[in-house]
Amino acid sequence: MSSFSWRLACLMLSLFVIVALSSDRARARTVKDLVGAWIAVSNVAEQGGVKSEPYGANPQGMLIFEADGRYGLILSRKDVPKFASNSRTNGTADENKAVVQGTISHFGRYTVIPAEKSIVFHIELSTYPNFNGTEQKRSFELVGDELKYTVPAFSGGGTAVAVWKRAK
């Protein structure tokens, strides 16, 4: 084998190893890959072929995964109106409706199932009471600093895709 062929073979092997290692790091395999704070990027729901953005075009929110398996999530429309009464217990019907339809939060424990590329949220408490005490599985992708998961049974009906970016 000539010197040039040997160098070319080594270069190609090196590039292959670098690409293989890089793609391996881009996939979450354990809880450690998700630990940290994530900022909401988008949330697109689909029901009956119709897509919508229930938390608006620029949702506000944070998802925090702790190393011990606990998590907390809050997601809100940017334009949820303030209550005219300045009292959370004295909102009008329209104000209360805007809050219920424009926000969601829940917390509890989570597990990662690497073989299924899934996160399971073990919801202890939610602002949507039907979630309380439930387990919800989300298939996910983690590429670089972007986490994307599918909600198979969105609380507003249909399905949803949530996209988060790692907080810096």
Full set of structural domains in the chain with CATH = 30-166 (2.40.128.280)
Of 73, 64, 61, 70, give the one whose Cα is nearest residue 36. Answer: 64
20 pLDDT above the threshold of 50: no
Please list, in sequence order, all residues whose beta carbon lies within 8 angstroms of the beta carbon of residue 78, skipping any fewer than 6 positions away: 56, 58, 59, 60
Span 51-71, average pLDDT: 97
Label residues 46-71 b or e (16+ Cβ within 10 Å = b): eeeeeeeebbeeebbbebbbeeeeeb
Q: Read off the pTM.
A: 0.80
d(CA 80, CA 93): 14
Residue 9: predicted pLDDT: 40
Mean of per-residue pLDDT scores for the chain:
86
Average pLDDT value for residue range 64-86:
97
> Mean per-residue pLDDT for 62-67?
98
Rounded mean pLDDT, 112-118: 94
